[in-house]
Chains A and B, each alone.
Chain A
Amino acid sequence: MSQKHNIKRGVSLYSFQEEFFLRKMTLEDIIATTQKLGIPGFEIIGDQMIPNYPYISDDFVKQWHGWMDKYERTPVCLDMFLDWNKYKGRVMTDDERLESVSKDIVNANKLGCTVIRMIHDVQPELLEKLEPSARKYNVKLALEIHAPSYYDSPHEQRLIELFRRVQSPYLCFTLDMGVFTKKIPRVATERFVREGMKREIAEYIAKGYNTGTLPSSHELGKPNTALNDKILAMGGRKEDIFWAMMGSHGIFGDPSLLKEYIPHTSHIHGKCYEIMVPEYREYSIPYEDIVPLLIEGGYSGYIDTEYEGNRWIQDAFEVDSTEQVRRHQVMLKQLLGEE
């Protein structure tokens, strides 16, 4: 098990969003929790937990570095968004987009982060223009591959062409492990039923997803009409179509592609919905099959736990993000041969 590798463990503070949203934990509480859980690196969404982002105050930067010293933490990654629709009646110009992301690069550097998780709808041309700035500030621009897209999707293939042409370590991917969602999350199908979906429809969706036989057209941002029709034919409601769409847009990408594309992958989101105990396994995502491939392929960045089960259970249960993150980290330690 103790095969040599350089993979590091981290956590995205996104995982603690429920407690932050409800003001049960402050940013400092969350950073302190990452120390208690023994997680070396972490990642933050500027818009989620940094006041008035992207305009970070000097006081915040000072306090931030104070926390890093106090809790002995390493900031790894800053997550950005490109709100190109924020101006009324028009989209951002190319210059405005460049300026927006340039600000994120400077911010990452101020916070001590060496990676930016780029939102997936950033175009290759913009990434290329940003490369000199990324180099100057020593921040990798890691565009996120997120289900239902994968390495072999058209946008990602255009990016790979760019990466091969430019040959810069500063242009790369973040891979979200949701691309290996082999089974539909159980927390999702249970929610379907709580939302009033007939159990037989929920079971049909789960079985269809898990066996890859759902009538579907997995295309980013487009409705899955074949499945909709089937749900209606089974006596489902329009609300059921919404929930089915929310729960079944995961994919199980071909893990054998990892080998070829790991050299272009600098960051990983360790997506999780529900970590089962005592076996410490993710219900939907077979990390036990994927992590060995990451080791074998020479992946050398962080795997940052990204707990997203909260949104499926918050209607009926108290969310315990800390416990889910702890479990995911126990699993990673096992799979990385740390214990």
Chain B
Amino acid sequence: MYDKYLIVGEEFKNVVEGSKVTGFQFGLRLPYYRGVVCSLVGRTKLTVDGESIPWEAMTVTIGGKTIKMAELENEPEHKWEFGNIGIVKVEKPGGLKPGGHRLQLEQEMKISYVPGGFWGHDEKVLNLVG
């Protein structure tokens, strides 16, 4: 559910720290109908132009806190509210080139009453302004 809303293109840009481009970012919504504590947010599988991005290279800023995505499982109290957009930053020295990029995303949700959890899927071509 909500699949087509998962990747939020308005937040898509390169990340500049100091004088260096250290990566890029985009917005992420969760494919679920309620807010959950972050430990119920499972894996994020992302490819950009066909290249897989390691889970470990992503952080998310949600509810005023920045957390490595691979460490969300350690957050049983911090809430990702329903419909809120997390800002995902991907470490990638030099960032992405200006122009169109295809983002493919699969987001796992670990919901107790759904055995094995479930995944949401989204795919968008976004334009990165240089």
Contacts and interface: CB of A to CB of B under 8 A. Distances in A.
Interface string B83-107: 1000000000000000000000000
A85 B110 contact: yes
B2 A21 contact: yes
B35 A48 contact: yes
A238 B82 CA distance: 30
A237 to B, nearest CB: 14
> Which of B3, B4, B35 has most A Cβ within 10 Å?
B35
Contacts of B36: 47, 83
Contact of B83 (A23, A81, A314): A23
A241 to B, nearest CB: 14
Given A17-B33, A21-B5, A48-B33, A87 B113 contact: no
B39 A86 contact: yes
B79 interface: yes
A314 B76 contact: no
Contact of A314 (B2, B82, B113, B115): B2
A47 B83 CA distance: 11
Contacts of A311: 1-2, 33
A283 interface: no
Nearest to B37: A86
B34 A20 contact: no
A22 B5 contact: yes
Query: Could you say which interface size class chain B belongs to?
Result: 20 to 34
Contacts of B79: 52-53
A290 interface: no
B76 A87 contact: yes
A47 B112 contact: no
B49 to A, nearest CB: 23
A120 B113 CA distance: 8
A315 B110 CA distance: 23
Contact of A84 (B2, B3, B112): B112
Contact of B112 (A20, A21, A49, A121): A121
A233 to B, nearest CB: 25
A221 B76 contact: no
Nearest to B85: A23
A119 interface: yes
Nearest to A311: B1
B125 to A, nearest CB: 17
Given A20-B83, A48-B82, A85 B33 contact: no
B123 interface: no
B35 A53 contact: yes
Nearest to A20: B83
Nearest to B112: A85
A14 B34 CA distance: 9
Interface string A37-58: 0000000010111011100000
Contacts of B4: 314-315
A300 to B, nearest CB: 28
B40 A51 contact: no
Nearest to B76: A86
Contacts of B114: 221
A23 B112 CA distance: 27
Given A88-B39, A311-B1, A221 B115 contact: yes
Contacts of A85: 40, 110, 112
Nearest to A50: B35
B75 to A, nearest CB: 9
Nearest to A86: B76
Nearest to B35: A47
A22 B83 contact: yes
A133 B115 CA distance: 30
A143 to B, nearest CB: 12
26 contacts: A14-B33, A20-B83, A21-B33, A22-B5, A22-B83, A23-B83, A47-B34, A47-B35, A48-B34, A48-B35, A48-B82, A49-B82, A51-B81, A53-B35, A53-B79, A81-B34, A81-B112, A83-B37, A83-B112, A84-B112, A85-B40, A85-B110, A86-B39, A86-B40, A121-B113, A221-B114
Given A20-B83, A47-B82, A83-B112, 12 more contacts: A21-B29, A22-B5, A23-B83, A45-B34, A47-B35, A48-B33, A81-B112, A82-B112, A85-B40, A86-B37, A221-B115, A222-B115
